[in-house]
Structure 1
Amino acid sequence: MFFFYAPRPALHLTLQQYEDLVAKAEALLSRLVVSENYDSVNNFLTLYDAYMASPDPALHEFFQKYNPPIRPKKNTCVGLGMEVMKKLKVLEKDFPGITKSMMLVSCDENIEDLVDYATSFPGPQGFLIETEKDHVMAAIHVRIAGRPGVFLSDLGYHISRVVTVMADRCYPHTGWFTQSDEPHCRKEYMYQLNLQNTNYIEWHERETRGANVKERLSLIYVAKAYLTAVSVTEKRNLVWDLRSLLARDPKGRLTAGIYFPLKPKTVEFTIFYEGNNGKQRKKMKFETFMELQKVNFTLTYLIRS
């Protein structure tokens, strides 16, 4: 079950004030995305430790009662969204009311039928079971010279810029932008309010690999603050079948990290990092790290660097 709070008040600004807010927020976010890794490894290990220390014989019984902790420097999108809100509070003096306007908002990914989802109910409360709440981000409703819009920040998807979604889709509406552009893959994002139900923002993703283009649609519910990010979204993250620990640069580009699937016979993980000849990837076996004295110097240097 998930819960929402009453709508947050909109932040009323002139266009110049909003441009100033974006500039100051992006200066903070570009540092935050570097200092805070994306980490879905440690929350999984914490779950394991808690289960092993519990008297529950069955994992499914333990998991129903489990309340995942949000720990500093070990954040998925939930903790990162909280860190964004904490960081933006320092702007309260320059933009009075921003603290009361900030909220975490929920997102359902991979929407197949946009019209059905957006028009069946005013919000996701009506779905109860069907909605998944895969993702969260920080949001602020704004009124820019009277024009309604939404300020979005999503470090969980490595977006270090502010995304502005205007109802009229005019400046300072962000529109399409390139989130990442590597030799093998380019990702482009676009956000806009849904015309049938302005409680939702459509998040369009376009991924290009050579001649192949794949598109994905997600919906962000921005009418009310999302209160069950920990008990629903963070907990749901624990049962996803991919773990990753990722470092980013100030623009949100991935610079180093590890990732691995959760499969019964998984015995290795992939490590990547920026080298002299671009991004390097290596597969390594977990057993290599069971006894640290057997880890050779090169491997130790690679992990620490």
Structure 2
Amino acid sequence: MASPIDTLKEFYQKYNPPIRAHKHTCVGLGMEVIKRLKLLEKDFPGITKAMMLVSCDENIEDLDDYTTSFPGPQGFLIETEKDHVLVAIHVKVDGRPGVFLSDLGYHISRAVTVMADRCYPHTGWFTQSDEPHCRKEYKYQFNADNASYVEWHERETRAAGVKERLSLVYVARAYLSAVEVTEKRNLVWDLRSLLARDPKGRLAAGVYFPLKLKDQEFTMFYDSTSGKQRKKFKFSVFLELQKIPDEVVEEVEQCNEQLRLRDGELLSILNRLANVMADAEFMAEVLAVNEKIVELSAAH
């Protein structure tokens, strides 16, 4: 008889996550994009075979080391997180190589065109979001030393200054381990969010929070008749549904509607989250697994 699994670490190592409808992560969204674009096969013969999921490693610190040490990320897979997935289609424009990228995981509302020579129709810099408190701009370009990689540059401007971030997308081959690696890795990510955006990719409403052992709270934002609302709530307020103040329930219902959820669904989600977050032993195990993954990938 099989022995029971005593720790989250043991369970996590053996767990194979499913991809479920309406539970959209970057992996699920990428698969959905490919499924829908297959309908274009009649008008664009060959598009089905040309589409593929591709892997992305975020927050690259040493670009040269990453792109020149090995022929591809599989050479040091144990030291990479593979924490993001996009859809890619390789193309040629008048003989010039390039790639189309679709990234719904980061709510990018356009197909980004990346040309090897960085000439038209290369997308270049574009504004991903422009909120009063923060502007985000993205740029994608092939790496000059290794055309197997596309560099994803992010520039974030706030009142305190400008921050830049670099990620790498491996476009030379299809990523065949999206569920087993990326979907699984994101299960223990220490920042969670449930967001809705408008057709142009702008944030409309949502909930987000970091995983912590103490001072557990989340931020909720939505539009009201008096303008954009952004408020913080302690998870402890949601431990018992019948004790949640009426005014808080009303605010959650407004956000629920703008997230296009079923009636009462967001309140139910927050109640379940509050009880999970209150389990200190479980939360400590989740954070420990996440930290171990971060440590393993620290070399890159």
TM-score, normalisation: structure 1: 0.79
5 Å-filtered alignment, 1:129-140, equals 129-140=78-89
- How far the C-alpha of 1:211 sits from its partner, in A, is 5.2
2:149 pairs, out of 175, 200, 205, with 200
**Secondary structure in structure 2 of the residue aligned to 1:106:** strand
Partners of 1:139 and 1:257 in 2: CA distance:
28
**Secondary structure in structure 1 of the residue aligned to 2:109:** strand
**Secondary structure in structure 1 of the residue aligned to 2:110:** strand
Task: Tell me which residue corresponds to 1:32.
Answer: none
Q: Tell me which stretches of 4 or more aligned residues in structure 1 moved more than 6 Å.
A: none
1:142 pairs, out of 88, 91, 99, with 91
Task: Tell me which residue corresponds to 2:55.
Answer: 106
- How far the C-alpha of 1:91 sits from its partner, in A, is 1.3
Deviation by residue 1:140-191 (Cα, 9 ceiling, x = unmatched)? 0011222211000001111011100011111110000000011111100000
- How far the C-alpha of 1:275 sits from its partner, in A, is 2.9
Task: Tell me which residue corresponds to 1:61.
Answer: 10
Q: Is the 8 A contact 2:54 2:170 kept in 1?
A: yes
Alignment pair present for 1:272 and 2:215: no
Partners of 1:83 and 1:261 in 2: CA distance:
27
Partners of 2:149 and 2:216 in 1: CA distance:
41
Task: Tell me which residue corresponds to 2:242.
Answer: 293
Task: Tell me which residue corresponds to 1:74.
Answer: 23
After TM superposition, the structure 1 stretch with the greater mean CA deviation from structure 2, 74-83 or 268-277, is 268-277
Gaps in structure 2 of 5+ consecutive residues: 255-300
Alignment pair present for 1:118 and 2:90: no
Alignment pair present for 1:163 and 2:130: no
Alignment pair present for 1:188 and 2:171: no
Higher relative contact order, structure no. (Cα contacts within 8 Å, ≥ 6 residues apart): 1
Deviation by residue 1:188-240 (Cα, 9 ceiling, x = unmatched)? 00000111000000101111112511111111000000011111111111222
Partners of 1:55 and 1:273 in 2: CA distance:
44
Q: Which amino acid letter does the alignment assign opposite residue 71 of structure 1?
A: R
5 Å-filtered alignment, 1:212-223, equals 212-223=161-172
Q: Which amino acid letter does the alignment assign opposite residue 207 of structure 1?
A: E
Percent identity between the aligned chains? 77
Deviation by residue 1:36-69 (Cα, 9 ceiling, x = unmatched)? xxxxxxxxxxxxxxxxxx9311111111001111
Partners of 1:200 and 1:293 in 2: CA distance:
53
Aligned residue-pair number: 252
Gaps in structure 1 of 5+ consecutive residues: 1-53
